[in-house]
Every structure is written in structure tokens, then in C-alpha cells.
Amino acid sequence: MTDITATPPIVRWAVKIEYDGTGLVGWQRQNNGISVQELLENAAARMIGGQIVPSVTAGRTDAGVHAASIVVHLDFPAGTQFRSHQIRDGLSFHLKPHRVVVLDAAPVGAEWSARFSALWRRYRFTILNRPSRAALMENHAWHVKRPLNAELMQKGADYLLGRHDFSSFRASACQANSPMRTLDELSVRREGELIFIETQARSFLHHQVRNMVGSLALVGYGQWEPDKMGEVLAACDRRVAGPTAPSDGLCFLDVGYEENPFSKNS
């Protein structure tokens, strides 16, 4: 008979973080460089004397991709006692000198998952559209010298809204079981020399956002008509789509849950 009063095997915390992905191999631990996951788990381990603290993220970003507000859950050993500000400040301290910072922290139930409890994820891709290369925005925007027409790009983007087979915008290494995704938003706007492309969905395929941006750039150049995006989508063939836009222009903006785990801290 199970003792329902027994101490749970873990103490789960949700943490909201931001990071500059420059020089990192992405979220997931790898053998070829430093990852965000490695940095965060090591920081958590230092807070409790070196014990392993596994983590799960809402989005596994690629090398060079940034995050403005991404959520991760950490499983501390049973009996670990912290307050929210101690988790936030302690992790941020042990993450120095890397450009990874904890913005907030909140205790959650063991059944809650940063990944599987998420209802939507939001990304922004930034293009610096001018002849001169970037100085202040280096590693944070795709520098495109040729003039881009943001209005035509938006017309092309509209063909991708809704639920579709996104095989044409799926990386060959994608491990998702299905190419079907529902794109709730794909907006393109220009602010001076900058073009911002924002998109939101419950989940995305590997490289989907960067592949969509690469194709939209061809529309912006005038190389493709906007309706070409619909033809590419219908083809369900990665070979007919445009190039993959560089990772440094991409930023994970936010993730949403049915109940915001950090709402009690605000």
C-alpha cells in the first residue's frame, strides 16, 4: 500500500531564464562545447553540494540562438528547501561569467512540466536590412544588404498560417513524429533598418522558423511572388524551399501555460 504522506522523491522548481546564445552550442548538452543545460544544471548542483539536478526546457534552442524568456524546470533532491529569490539569485550567481541569467523562480508540482505543460511558444527573428554590417547588433541579427519588402513578406507569410504539413520547412534531422503543426501567428514588420518576424505556435519543427524566414527573404527580394510560399508549403519537400536563415537572428521570446507558475511572485 502506497503511503500518500511520503516525501516526494524530488522538489521541482520552474525557472524563467534569459541568455545570449553566442558561443554556446544551444540548450542541449553536447560534447563539442558549452550548452545552456550544462551551465544551468551545474549551477544548481553547486547550490546543494554537487548533487545532480536534472532539467527540462520548454524549447531546445540551437547553437547561437538567444532567449528573452524561456522556462525550465529543475528537479532538486527531496528535502531541499529554498525560497524563490534564493533559487533566482543563487543560480544567477553560479552562472557567472556566462551570459545566462535567471529572471524568476517558483515551486511547482512534480506533475508539471516546462515542456509538456506549455500551451504555446513564441519566437522573434531579427533582420538588419542595410548595406553596412552590424556593430551593436552583431550576433543578434541577420545582416541582409539587399533591400527587403516587408509588406510582400507579410503577404507570403499569410499562406503559412493555420494547420499544415510543414515538411518543406523541416530540417532533415528533425525527430518530431509528425510534420503537422498549427501556426497561430506569423507577422512581419519593419522598424527603420530592422525587420522583425514574430511567430507563435504550440510547438515548432526543428529549424522551422529559420527555414520559413529564409524563404520569406526570397519574397522580400522580389525573387519569389508571395503566393510561391503557398506552393512551397503544398509541396511538402524541403528541397523546394529557401535557405535556412542564420541562428544568431533568432530569439525565443516567451512560452505560455494554462496557469502562470510565476504569477504569485509578481
Give me the domain span that covers residue 230: 119-253
Per annotation, catalytic residue among 20, 62, 165, 254: 62
Between CA 34 and CA 192 the distance in angstroms is 35
For residue range 30-42, what is the model confidence (pLDDT) as tens digits? Answer: 999 999 999 999 9
C-alpha cell belonging to residue 219: 519574397
Q: Where are the alpha helices (DSSP H) in the chain?
A: 36-47, 84-95, 150-158, 208-221, 228-235
- pLDDT one digit per residue (tens) for the chain, 266 residues: 445 555 568 899 999 999 999 999 999 999 999 999 999 999 999 999 989 999 999 999 999 999 999 999 999 999 899 999 999 999 999 999 999 999 999 999 999 999 999 999 999 999 999 999 999 999 999 999 999 999 999 999 999 999 999 999 999 888 899 999 999 999 999 999 999 999 999 999 999 999 999 999 999 999 999 999 999 999 999 999 999 999 999 999 999 999 999 988 75
Residue 1 within any structural domain of the chain: no
How many domains, the chain?
A: 2
| Residues 240/154/198/115 CA torsion (nearest 10 deg) | -50
Q: Is residue 165 part of a domain?
A: yes
- Identify whether residues 87 and 207 lie together within a single domain: no
pLDDT of residue 203: 96
State the Cα–Cα distance between residues 233 and 177, nearest whole angstrom.
Answer: 18
CA atoms in the 13 A half-sphere facing the CB of 116: 4
Q: Name the residue with cell 542595410.
A: 130
103, 146: one domain: no
Contact present, 98 and 173 (Cβ < 8 Å): no
Would you list which residues are annotated within the binding site for substrate? 123
**Paired residues of 118 in beta bridges:** 257
Average pLDDT over all residues of the chain: 95
- Structural domain contains residue 85: yes
Identify whether 70 is part of a domain: yes
Question: What are the binding residues?
Answer: 123
Q: How far is CA 142 from its chain centroid?
A: 17
Residue finishing a domain among 116, 142, 158: 116
Per the annotation, the verdict on 62 as an active-site residue is yes
Give yes or no: residues 239 and 152 share one domain: yes
pLDDT at 8: 61
Residue 47 per-residue DSSP state: H
Cβ pair 131, 145 in contact under 8 A: yes
